[in-house]
Amino acid sequence: MAQTESAPRPVAEMSFEEALAELERIVQQLERGQLDLETAIRAYERGTELRRHCEAKLREARLRVEQIAFDEEGRPAGVEPFEPER
């Protein structure tokens, strides 16, 4: 089911890939000058929210990778529990 401009999907429910794809579409529209001023402002605001969401998802992924424990030989030995930032 496609989202309409009047009811976009909440950013918090989006995966990193979904948010990044929408952000790329918004950037393309803004770069092409396809939007009237008010719509461009709303798109910019949405893009800012999407960018922040993507940054948070990347930060969480980085922290998860950093929590992988290694044994004396450098092999992954386990993973410590990870609690994402809220």
Q: Which residue in 25, 24, 22 sits closest to 11, CA to CA?
A: 22
Taking the C-alpha atoms of residue 80 and residue 57, their distance in angstroms, rounded to an integer, is 18
Domain that holds residue 57: 13-68
34 vs 29, residue with greater confidence = 29
Q: Would the pLDDT of 67 be above 90?
A: no
| pTM for the structure as a whole | 0.71
Residue 22 lies in a domain: yes
At residue 41, the pLDDT reads: 97
29 vs 68, residue with greater confidence = 29
pLDDT in tens, 34-59: 899 999 999 999 999 999 999 999 99
Domain count, the chain: 1
Residue 2 lies in a domain: no
Residue 34 lies in a domain: yes
Residue 47 lies in a domain: yes
Neighbours of 42 (CB within 10 A): 14
| Tokens linked to 51 | 């960018």
At residue 36, the pLDDT reads: 95
Residue 78 lies in a domain: no
Taking the C-alpha atoms of residue 77 and residue 69, their distance in angstroms, rounded to an integer, is 5
